[in-house]
Amino acid sequence: MSTYDIILRNAYLMARDQVVDIAIDDGVIAEIDDAVERTADREIQVGGDLVGPGFVDSHMHIDKSFAACGRRHPKGNDSAFDFREIMPREEEYFAEMTVDEITENALKDIEMAVAAGTTYIRTHVAVNHETFGLQNVEAVTRARDVAANLVDIQIVPAARHIPSEESKQILHDAIELASGSESPEPALVGGSDPAGANKDIERTLKAWFDVATKQDVGLDVHIQDGGTLGGYTLDRLHEYTEANGYEDRVTASHCYCLSHLPNHHLDRLIDQFTESDMNIVTCYQSTRPTMPVRKLLESNVTLAHGTDNDRDFVFPHGNADSLEGALIESNKLHGDRTFVEDYRWFDSNEGLDQLWEMITEQGARALGIEDRYGVSEGNPADLVVFDEPSPQWAIIAQATRRFVLKNGAVVAEDGELLPEYSVSE
């Protein structure tokens, strides 16, 4: 009997609620059994603790990452600022940055994410025909290719100054650039608020779908306008999705409006999400405490999680750590017994399970990788070994990521990337 490459012995699998052995061969999960009989070149004793799939970080901005670093106090975050300042800050920052520098920061961000257990990333990347052009997409595409053995990355170019013709052209070019023949993951059309950012809901949506349909790629767009303005934008996004036959190919990120609207309005939006198979992504940094996470998940809407910004001029925070995100979401969504629904739900074992799903399976659904995701025989061995016995305790104790495996290779141990897998300078 030949030997396996790696066996994880006595691993708790949440899906089976059982302790099993997991055998890995040739990058793939070869066998899962109560007790795998064959041996392996490397056997890791998990001791009954949790083994989960690599985290799916459904929303990052790796082109901006570490913009706030390099000084004693975070740069660009001296005081609070109006969100409309983000665009000028972005233009100012990237005017000074080279492709090499952006690539290096993106690689550091990838390393941080992988060390924390992430094996799939969707990252938004700014493009701007008026100022910094395609440099960020060049950088992130390069970083993606350099780090291909650490993480799968989907790139979402987001053109500023939509819906002008020039912005549509550069968005088109960005998709081409990021979808080179070697790239394993398709690029998607990104962008921000048709109303609040682009001041023209109809022409923005039309521009996004023009570019997406022309290149036959999906969309993942920021819908951050609040209240009924955001709700109306989601209505129109749904209608464009249906009109273009884009069911299951559109993601709406953030959707703060869902935390502002009354239940009857929410119910109608949820019906639309279901009809057009629209995915929603929320991010711990900016999730509103009244975000109807439980309601969305229990209505079978795909609701994934992203860690969003990492130490940049938008947020000084960020450790690219989905498990930290889940802990913070749990505390944010704790509720208020006085006035808010779902009090304590996200402290409960069921609620913590839902948060765990958002950083794993729900992310896989949002990224369209569910056919190859999860701890099942035949899937790529993208796994995390924790030092806690369940998703609940992993979130609560912010468990050590003892081992992170990508395609069957151990790439990080005890929260640190192995030196031989380092991709940054």
- For residue 74, the minimal CB distance to a copy of itself (Å) is 5
Helix, strand, coil percentages for the chain (3-state, nearest 5) = 35, 25, 40
Which of 118, 259, 307, 360 touches a copy of itself by CB under 8 A? 259
Using the CB atoms, write b or e for 64-77: b if 16+ within 10 Å: bbbbbeeeeebbbb
Q: Is 87 in the site for a copy of itself (CB under 8 A)?
A: no
Q: Is 83 in the site for a copy of itself (CB under 8 A)?
A: yes
Q: Is 396 in the site for a copy of itself (CB under 8 A)?
A: yes
Q: Is 27 in the site for a copy of itself (CB under 8 A)?
A: no
Q: Is 288 in the site for a copy of itself (CB under 8 A)?
A: yes
Which of 61, 222, 332, 402 touches a copy of itself by CB under 8 A? 332
What string of H, E and C letters represents the secondary structure of 262-314? CHHHHHHHHHHHHHCCCEEEEECCCCCCCCCHHHHHHCCCCEEEECECCCCCC
Q: Is 232 in the site for a copy of itself (CB under 8 A)?
A: no
Q: Is 47 in the site for a copy of itself (CB under 8 A)?
A: no
Closer to a copy of itself at the Cβ: 316 or 368?
316
Would you give the binding string for a copy of itself spanning residues 311-330, x where CB under 8 A is met?
x---xxxxx----x--xx-x
Closest CA to 33 of 48, 23, 24: 23
What is the dihedral sign for C-alpha 279, 391, 149, 34?
Answer: negative
Closer to a copy of itself at the Cβ: 14 or 159?
14
Annotated catalytic residue: which of 254, 260, 305, 317?
Answer: 254
Q: Is 424 in the site for a copy of itself (CB under 8 A)?
A: no
- For residue 289, the minimal CB distance to a copy of itself (Å) is 5
Q: 149 and 110 in contact (C-beta within 8 Å)?
A: no
- For residue 205, the minimal CB distance to a copy of itself (Å) is 21
What is the dihedral sign for C-alpha 97, 98, 99, 101?
Answer: negative
Q: Residue 283 burial by CB count (10 A; 0-12/13-18/19+): exposed, middle or buried?
A: buried
Q: Is 354 in the site for a copy of itself (CB under 8 A)?
A: no
What is the per-residue DSSP string for 209-247?
Answer: HHHHHHHT--EEEEE---HHHHHHHHHHHHHHHHHTT-T
Map residue 176 onto helix, strand or coil.
helix
Q: How many CB atoms lie within 10 A of CB 256?
A: 19
- For residue 81, the minimal CB distance to a copy of itself (Å) is 6
Q: Is 343 in the site for a copy of itself (CB under 8 A)?
A: yes
Q: Is 393 in the site for a copy of itself (CB under 8 A)?
A: yes
- Residue 254 known to be catalytic: yes
Give the residue numbers annotated as catalytic, written as ranges.
Answer: 254
Binding site residues, a copy of itself, CB under 8 A: 12, 72-74, 77-83, 225-227, 256, 259-260, 284-286, 288-289, 311, 315-319, 324, 327-328, 330-332, 334, 336-339, 342-345, 347-352, 389-390, 392-393, 396-398
